[in-house]
């Protein structure tokens, strides 16, 4: 390159409808053998053995599974029902755009002040982690996911890790100023456990925020009843996800779980996401326009895994359902929406915890039985009347 000329612009595919332009050298294709291969001048050592093991692990993570024409994660295969192919990555970035529009450009609603360390659970393409890192350049941002689909070109304060957030977390307790989770329905088997782990790993004064969709359909004028296929489809998604061991919470469940885990200053904000551009309000019309694209192009990814694996549908049956569903989705006379929940809570400081302990009433004294006490049990009104010929009796409740 001649001196004074700007560096060439390179694009990496699969990340949003508008490819992100990065100045400088294009990223090299991911080749696990060349990346982790030791130089021939190195002598054998335990470190070389570790590198060979890492190469094997990396290779297995990239050895994706394919099913019904879609690509799925290899690490803990089957744990998450949605694919990770290029079409799905584009949809995830579009989904990020929908939520950014809905929140008026905000990436979080928790009141963050100069955070130093942040964690993004289930980061997907990494777009949220990259943008939050740009807004807080002094913070270290860690994004975790089952799939290594994040870009190579990222801000210097971002790193991505392949991890399962349902396994035991390897981070130190009290280490994060902010933990973020978004669109994890279908991936979590125990939401209360997840929230308790987030509480454990938040610093005192740190925040945990969940941004999550309740897939159930509703409308203010009852017109969602004119969308029986869509209602049925969302019901099938919820029931099949539950059967797969990943129950989908309703929007009103999170607050109690946050408080039970110990979070204080819990704040919940609900948003309505229209399923197409039916709203009169300009901002919501824009949100609905993109949400329609998200669903018409993305419902296959959402449905195909669960319906074929759990409900044992044939792929052709899923496609017939989706064809009928797309007709309803485009009908602007059907004013359906889904509730999107943003909830955050703060881990109390040490002195706050102490004050709370002092305010708690003392525990009752342990129960002491006396000779006159009767053990609690089922009262039998007339045993003789209920005694069977074999000597057993049926208690009267």
Q: What's the pLDDT score for residue 59?
A: 60
Q: What's the pLDDT score for residue 366?
A: 67
CB 177 within 8 A of CB 116: yes
Average pLDDT over residues 318-346: 94
CB 21 within 8 A of CB 28: no
Q: Is the pLDDT of residue 235 over 70?
A: yes
Question: For 50-69, what is each residue's pLDDT tens digit?
Answer: 344 434 445 667 777 888 88
Name the pLDDT band for 81 (thresholds 50, 70, 90). Answer: confident
Q: What's the pLDDT score for residue 71?
A: 83
Question: For 122-159, what is each residue's pLDDT tens digit?
Answer: 999 999 999 999 999 999 999 999 988 898 888 999 99
Residue carrying structure tokens 């050895």: 63
Nearest residue to 115 (alpha-carbon basis) of 29, 208, 46, 52: 208
Question: For 172-212, what is each residue's pLDDT tens digit?
Answer: 999 999 999 999 999 999 999 999 999 999 999 999 999 99
Name the pLDDT band for 254 (thresholds 50, 70, 90). Answer: very high
Q: Is the pLDDT of residue 23 over 50?
A: no
Q: What's the pLDDT score for residue 32?
A: 31
The pTM score is 0.75
Alpha carbons within 13 A on the beta-carbon side of 89: 22
Percent of the chain scoring above 90 in pLDDT? 60
Percent of the chain scoring above 70 in pLDDT? 76
Mean pLDDT value across the chain: 80
Name the pLDDT band for 26 (thresholds 50, 70, 90). Answer: very low
């Amino acid at each position: 390159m001649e001196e004074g000329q700007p560096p060439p612009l390179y694009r990496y595919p699969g990340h949003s409808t508008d490819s992100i332009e990065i100045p400088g050298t294009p990223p090299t294709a991911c080749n696990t053998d060349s990346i982790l291969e030791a130089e021939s001048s190195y002598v054998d050592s335990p470190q070389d053995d570790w590198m060979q093991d890492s190469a094997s692990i990396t290779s297995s993570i990239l050895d994706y599974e394919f099913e019904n024409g879609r690509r799925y994660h290899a690490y803990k295969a089957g744990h998450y029902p949605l694919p990770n192919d290029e079409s799905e990555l584009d949809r995830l970035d579009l989904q990020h755009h929908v939520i950014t529009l809905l929140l008026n450009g905000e990436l979080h609603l928790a009141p963050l002040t100069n955070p130093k360390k942040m964690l993004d659970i289930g980061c997907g393409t990494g777009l949220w982690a990259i943008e939050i890192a740009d807004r807080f350049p002094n913070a270290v941002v860690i994004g975790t996911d089952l799939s290594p689909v994040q870009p190579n070109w990222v801000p210097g304060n971002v790193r991505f890790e392949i991890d399962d957030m349902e396994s035991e977390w390897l981070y130190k307790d009290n280490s994060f100023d902010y933990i973020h989770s978004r669109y994890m329905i279908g991936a979590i088997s125990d939401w209360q456990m997840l929230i308790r782990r987030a509480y454990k790993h938040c610093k005192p004064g740190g925040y945990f925020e969940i941004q999550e969709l309740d897939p159930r359909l509703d409308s203010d004028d009852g017109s969602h009843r004119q969308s029986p296929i869509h209602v049925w489809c969302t019901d099938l998604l919820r029931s099949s996800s539950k059967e797969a061991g990943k129950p989908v919470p309703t929007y009103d469940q999170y607050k109690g779980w946050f408080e039970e885990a110990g979070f204080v200053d819990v704040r919940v904000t609900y948003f309505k996401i229209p399923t197409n551009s039916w709203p009169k309000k300009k901002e919501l019309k824009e949100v609905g326009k993109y949400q329609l694209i998200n669903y018409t192009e993305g419902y296959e990814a959402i449905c195909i895994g669960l319906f074929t694996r759990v409900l044992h549908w044939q792929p052709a049956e899923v496609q017939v359902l989706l064809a009928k569903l797309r007709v309803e989705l485009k009908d602007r006379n059907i004013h359906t929406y889904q509730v999107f929940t943003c909830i955050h809570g703060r881990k109390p400081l040490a002195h706050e915890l102490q004050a709370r302990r002092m305010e708690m009433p003392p525990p009752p004294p342990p129960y002491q039985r006396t000779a006159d006490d009767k053990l609690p049990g089922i009262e039998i009104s007339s045993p003789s009347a209920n005694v069977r010929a074999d000597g057993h009796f049926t208690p009267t409740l």
